[in-house]
């Protein structure tokens, strides 16, 4: 590795050191000392972002597209170091870090293309009707405009694609909004080297220095102060329900409330229909076990619940899933805190009345092994906590006595990122009445697939009703995510010379 970590914040083009520090807690390798963020850094970064907005918010789409492409190039140029630091901090395997870098750079380049096409501006024009009776109509033009400085909080489980230069940052920069990232304390070194790449791109492209800042964490007050700063105009957040809700409440309580786009937790239930279970139950069990344990189950789209009809086919599905899961070896979790929360979640499920332990394993320190439990739909409907996310490779099978009861489970779900149907042709009629229920529950509905793996494209929705997200009209993945950082403005009879360049 050639990159030497220095542990500083990047504030408006300067690497800044704080008096106070915190020490990283890598899965393996050397721990490093990092500057702890404070209110002074928050103020400096946000004020510089506002200053940068006066130029960057009015830059051309071509200029911003070039900037996004150069950021991607600079990240790729540091690829090996990013992989080495990321693996050490998170314990994720090398292939995962390489793949996630591809996705991160891919989404930066996708946004560059997207803004060049210009459709996202959603331009509208109602021409003047001076002769209209009884009243004439003025000339009305509408376009989407960037909203100002954005605060971004990345998640621990995606150190690249949902972090410093992840989807929120890419979307905000594409829209024309400067970004202040609150670095995740689980991967501060990965944040630092990615910020180095963005810094290099700022210099190469001659961007205003305040267009991007990274404030390292180590202090929860930094996040609270950032979302409450009057110059911050929206927040992009990926993380836990508890953290997201705390910051959402702060945004709502501001004297000028601002949108908080939080992508939070989800249990991603799967509904398995009788013919599919009967015809290919074993393959479904193996597929589920794979999806449930990939990345130690630390995916927001991890399918934690399988709902199916009780009976012989279900019994076979339970034993096949248990067998497939029992061969999965222990995996390192992202942080000590996440490992601890996993054990607490497992205890919660195991001690719920009416829950049967199917596969018991044991995990300690920062390791995770899979667990499998079964319960009846009747019990599941009585115990709200069985519907809560356990972040890790833990599955709950819910056995229903009828399709009506399966549908009742669907009706009682909270908001989800995804819901999945496993069905054969002969299940189609029964499955049809689930669609109106599930489309009110989830941002994405899948058939005969597993929800882990979120394509970055035009049609993706990564969001959903609360608590999957705090804003169900939005997505945090895919090109539509740019809409979070734009606001429609109508220009009435404004002379052409005064209109934004994109409207001319
Ligand atoms: P997290 O603990 O909520 O942390 C996310 C960020 O928020 C960190 O920067 C953290 O600061 C900060 N934070 C958390 N609570 C705060 C508070 N009360 N005040 C101020 N700042 C606060 O989440 P995580 O551990 O990174 O991620 C795991 C969770 O994210 C899982 O539940 C998973 O399902 C969810 N997730 C959701 C999605 C999605 O798209 N819906 C994607 C990935 C993960 P520190 O650095 O100080 O911890």
Mean pLDDT calculated for residue range 409-429: 98
| 41 counts as catalytic | no
Three-state DSSP class for 15?
Answer: strand
Check pLDDT > 70 for residue 211.
yes
Question: Is the beta carbon of 220 within 6 A of some atom in ligand 1?
Answer: yes
Domain boundaries, the chain: 10-20+33-264+469-503, 270-447
Q: Please write down the long-range contacts of 274-280, taking CB distance under 8 Å and 24 or more positions apart.
A: 274/308, 274/309, 274/313, 274/427, 274/430, 275/423, 275/424, 275/425, 275/426, 275/427, 276/422, 276/423, 276/424, 276/427, 276/448, 277/308, 277/309, 277/313, 277/314, 277/317, 277/422, 278/313, 279/424, 280/424
Question: Is the beta carbon of 417 within 6 A of some atom in ligand 1?
Answer: yes
pLDDT at 421: 98
Instruction: Read off the pTM.
Output: 0.95
pLDDT at 132: 98
Distance (angstroms) between ligand 1 centre and the Cα of 176 equals 25
Check pLDDT > 80 for residue 497.
yes
Check pLDDT > 90 for residue 241.
yes
* Helix (H) or strand (E) segment spanning residue 372: strand 371-376
Check pLDDT > 80 for residue 364.
no
Note the pLDDT tens digit of each residue in 310-351.
999 999 999 999 999 999 989 999 999 999 999 999 999 999
d(CA 452, CA 344) in angstroms, rounded, equals 23
Tally of residues, the chain: 504
| 419 counts as catalytic | no
Check pLDDT > 80 for residue 89.
yes
Residue found by looking up tokens 């000590």 in the block: 336
Check pLDDT > 90 for residue 493.
yes
Mean pLDDT calculated for residue range 355-376: 91
8 A C-beta contact, residue 143 and residue 488 = yes
Q: 450 to each of 27, 70, 285, 360, 424, how far by Cα in Å?
A: 28, 34, 11, 24, 15
Question: Is the beta carbon of 246 within 6 A of some atom in ligand 1?
Answer: yes
Check pLDDT > 70 for residue 46.
yes
Pocket mutation for ligand 1, best pick of 164, 241, 243 (most atoms within 8 Å of C-beta): 243
d(CA 289, CA 87) in angstroms, rounded, equals 24
Distance (angstroms) between ligand 1 centre and the Cα of 156 equals 7
Q: What confidence category does residue 363 fall into, taking pLDDT thresholds of 50, 70 and 90?
A: confident
pLDDT at 225: 98
Question: Is the beta carbon of 451 within 6 A of some atom in ligand 1?
Answer: no
pLDDT at 365: 80
Nearest CA to ligand 1 atom 2: 240
Question: Is the beta carbon of 391 within 6 A of some atom in ligand 1?
Answer: yes
Mean pLDDT calculated for residue range 278-294: 97
Query: Choosing from 263, 363, 405, 419, which is the catalytic residue?
Result: 263
Residue found by looking up tokens 């009788």 in the block: 274
Copy the structure tokens of residue 372: 């499998």
pLDDT at 361: 82
Topology at the third CATH level for domain 10-20+33-264+469-503: Aldehyde Dehydrogenase; Chain A, domain 1 (3.40.605)
Check pLDDT > 90 for residue 265.
no
Check pLDDT > 80 for residue 191.
yes
Q: Which atom of ligand 1 lies closest to the CA of 337?
A: 25
pLDDT at 3: 86
8 A C-beta contact, residue 40 and residue 59 = no
Query: Choosing from 87, 177, 300, 363, which is the catalytic residue?
Result: 300
8 A C-beta contact, residue 392 and residue 342 = yes
Q: What confidence category does residue 1 fall into, taking pLDDT thresholds of 50, 70 and 90?
A: low
Question: Is the beta carbon of 184 within 6 A of some atom in ligand 1?
Answer: yes
Q: Which residues pair with 21 in a beta bridge?
A: 35
pLDDT at 310: 98
Distance (angstroms) between ligand 1 centre and the Cα of 153 equals 8
d(CA 199, CA 207) in angstroms, rounded, equals 10
Nearest CA to ligand 1 atom 40: 263
Q: Which CATH class is domain 270-447?
A: alpha beta
Residue among 377, 45, 42, 383 nearest 220 (CA): 42
Q: What percent of the chain has pLDDT over 90?
A: 95
Q: Which residues pair with 354 in a beta bridge?
A: none
Note the pLDDT tens digit of each residue in 98-128.
999 999 999 999 999 999 999 999 999 999 9
């Amino acid at each position: 590795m050639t990159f030497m970590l220095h542990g500083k914040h990047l504030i408006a083009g300067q690497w800044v050191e704080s008096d106070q520090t915190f020490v990283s807690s890598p899965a393996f390798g050397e721990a490093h000392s990092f500057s702890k963020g404070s209110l002074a850094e928050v103020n400096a970064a946000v004020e510089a972002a506002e200053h940068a907005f006066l130029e960057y918010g009015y830059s051309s789409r071509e200029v911003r597209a070039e900037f996004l492409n150069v950021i991607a190039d600079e990240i790729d140029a540091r690829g090996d170091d990013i992989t080495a630091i990321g693996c050490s901090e998170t314990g994720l395997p090398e292939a995962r870090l390489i793949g996630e870098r591809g996705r991160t750079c891919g989404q930066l380049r996708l946004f560059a293309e997207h803004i060049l096409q210009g459709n996202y501006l959603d331009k509208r024009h109602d021409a003047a009707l001076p002769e209209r009776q009884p009243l004439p109509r003025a000339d009305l033009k509408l376009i989407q405009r960037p909203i100002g400085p954005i605060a971004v909080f990345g998640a621990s489980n995606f150190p690249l694609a949902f972090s410093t230069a992840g989807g929120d940052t890419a979307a905000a920069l594409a829209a024309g909004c400067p970004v202040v990232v609150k670095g995740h304390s689980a991967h501060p070194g990965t944040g630092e080297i990615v910020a180095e790449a963005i810094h290099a791109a700022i210099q190469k492209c001659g961007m205003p220095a305040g267009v991007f800042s990274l404030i390292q964490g180590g202090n929860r007050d930094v996040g609270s102060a950032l979302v409450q700063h009057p110059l911050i105009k929206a927040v992009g957040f990926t993380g836990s329900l508890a953290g997201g809700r705390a910051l959402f409440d702060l945004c709502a309580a501001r004297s000028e409330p601002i949108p908080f786009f939080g992508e939070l937790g989800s249990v991603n239930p799967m509904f398995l229909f009788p013919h599919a279970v009967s015809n290919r139950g074993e393959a479904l069990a193996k597929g589920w076990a794979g999806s449930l344990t990939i990345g130690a189950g630390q995916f927001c789209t991890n399918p934690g619940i399988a709902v199916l009809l009780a009976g012989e086919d279900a019994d076979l599905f339970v034993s096949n899933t248990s067998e497939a899961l029992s061969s999965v070896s222990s995996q390192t979790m992202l942080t000590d805190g996440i490992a601890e929360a996993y054990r607490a979640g497992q205890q919660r499920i195991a001690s719920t009345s009416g829950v049967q332990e199917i596969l018991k394993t044991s995990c300690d320190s920062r390791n995770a092994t899979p667990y499998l439990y079964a319960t009846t739909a009747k019990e599941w409907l009585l115990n709200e906590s069985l519907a809560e996310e356990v972040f890790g490779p833990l599955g709950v099978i819910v056995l229903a006595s009828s399709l009506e009861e399966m549908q009742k489970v669907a009706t009682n779900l909270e908001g989800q990122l995804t819901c999945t149907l496993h069905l054969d042709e002969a299940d189609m009629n029964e499955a049809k009445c689930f669609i109106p229920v599930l489309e009110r529950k989830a941002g994405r509905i899948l058939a005969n697939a597993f929800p882990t793996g979120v394509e970055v494209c035009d049609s993706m929705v990564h969001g959903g009703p609360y608590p999957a997200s705090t804003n169900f009209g939005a997505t945090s993945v895919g090109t539509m995510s740019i809409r979070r950082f734009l606001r429609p403005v109508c220009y009435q009879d404004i002379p052409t010379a005064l209109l934004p360049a994109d409207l001319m």
